[in-house]
Structure 1
Amino acid sequence: MSALLILGGFLLIVLGLLWLLVLAFQTSLLWGVGSLLPPIMLLFILRCWKVARKAVVFIALGFIPLIVGITQLASVDSNRVEALLNLSWLQGVEEVQTKVDINLSGELSGQPFKPHYGELIDGVLVLREGNDFFAQRELRIALPASMVAAELQALRLDVLPQDVGSLPDIEIMWMLPKQGLPEARRIGRGYTLHLDLQRQPPNLLVGDFHLVLPPHFKTSMSGEVQLLTDRLHYIAGEVDRNHDAVSTLEYVLEDYLQRRFATPTVLLEPFETPMQFTAPLDITVTAHILGQQRSLPVRLLKNAQKGWYVEGDQYPEYVAQAAEVTGAAEEPLDAQKTPRPLDRRTRFSLQRLLVNPAQYENLQVHVQTTRGNQVTGRFVGLDTEGALVIHRQIKAPGTVSFSLLPSEISDINLLEP
């Protein structure tokens, strides 16, 4: 409602100014041309008040809904009012890409590769060049779950061409002229990879990166990278709860559940993304807490001081119990060194699968189509048209293959970790 009032008031003011300009031209050509400049227009109003007063009254009427709308918006979200008044919305949306500094030299598929964005989230390292949905050039390295801990402090990895076993899966993608979908190649072995990354608070991994693929891929790069470990916004090292993004809401909800149930073992499932980040937001949260699935409705509110928060949240900060600390200290050395495998069912969605299909290959999925049909089988990848290819084992020797376009899928669930 506040947006409609602001827009309506702004339109009335603009129409009033146009009407005032027409009246100036009707008075004389000199007044009309001069009124294109604000000081001359003000002089025209003072000198020719009887002619200009109708348009001035019309402009004044436009300020009424404009002020009411801004007042209503300020009571809900003062940050948006500040952005509206300082015209920061004209500068575009702040890109997360500006937060990382990547100094790589090399090529990808024979083309110079200058990535401006990097991340290592959910076990997938991404280096990306280009701001479109499909990057101009992109490198993805899906690390085995055994190599990535939930709270990664450092990562050192060396792979040689003769190595075998559980190795990172590498995928390179690049756009060709007049082509809607990118070209892609996947490499499972036969490459050289060196990673030496250290944690840099609050959410960066920084260090050396070196990659050489087999010669026919024409891909090699070496240098220093900075990789984001999450997509949150930070101010002075603290999470910015005022930032309107799904990642912010996920952080707020996870923190709330950890304090409410006094446990750090909270795995939040994907929830419906709000169309607009306008408080209040009513969301039904589903999460795995201490191994049990729980669903509970929550209402998210927002103010300038606290940012986004859960209504009725009065739970204290979670502090690990002494027994938990002692138990962790008594764990065998091998257990401490072995990172906990990531559960890929956490925050799984169709969009995540489309962005990084390699991470979910050969896993069981359950799909429900818009026509009401259901398919359960192993996801084996995307075809050339971007459709999901699912293989289902049948009683007789062999498999049945299903190809489903993303637009045909109403719901998809991952059945394996």
Structure 2
Amino acid sequence: MEALLILAGAVLLVLGWVWLVISAIRLSVGRMLFALLAAPLTLLVRGRGYPVWPRLLLLLGILGILLGATQLYQHQPERLDQLLSGRWAVSASAASDLQGTIMGQPFAPERIVWRGEDLVFEEGPADRVRRALTIRFGAAQDLLREPTIERLPSDDGAWPELILQWYTGALSAPGLRKVTEGYSLSLDLAEPVDGRVEGRIHLHLPTIYSTWLTGRIELSSAPAWLQERVKTEQLEQLELHKVAEQAAADATKEKNPPLQWQELSLLALMDEPQLFSGSRVRLTTWSGRTHLGIFKELSEEERLILAQARGPHQIELHFHMLDIRKVEARNDL
């Protein structure tokens, strides 16, 4: 509304100015030059021969600009500062990558930061935030373990909490609203590169909130949870590579007797597990997956425990007997 008033006022001002200059051609050269260079000042003079209608357009244009600027100052003073300082074009360009609305108000975040478990989007000076949208993952930390965070209104499970903050005017208190579910969220962050993180976000709230945010985002520093997730993924890839190398080595050794695999009886394992404790075994499940490791023991729940080395640490895999198709041991052990 404010922009429309300013634009309409500017159009009326230009039309009235041009009309006044054309009408002043029949007057003296001095009066025509006065109309050309300072048309708004003709509103203050009388009896100089200037027509009424062009000056009325000038007046309406000036009033429209002043009214629009007043409302813009009340609702979005930082926009007025940018307009008066000539930085409006830069602001529009920056907002093209990430933009949206909060409670119906235009929202173009200027800062995107992680604060603990919160993803925060802020607009306005650092010491006077005009609008902000915060996505809190404190109650939905499991979502941070996935490469892409997706939530749809029909999804079950934990939801990040949304905090909406907006400013309604110079004489009004800031607005605050919490949304705990029922919205759509897609957040995709790439792996950090030189400490910076890029990604995209698409957020849409129900119509009653008049709030959405979409576009590319960039973080100057990677949050701790993302660094931990990348490290875990790298360790898993390394372990898979080691398992593949070990399987290839085992396949090579199988070609050279007596280093061969010998199938064990599951009943024997269950009756006398201590006889096989510490043996290197190869376990195959009914789903077709193969696991290599050291047989340790049977758990209290009668599950077979297989130990695997992962870097400086050791993990234990537990298998239900009904899930095991066969267990093999090296006959050289």
Question: TM-score w.r.t. structure 1 length?
Answer: 0.30
Larger CA Rg, structure 1 vs 2: 2
Larger relative helix fraction: 2
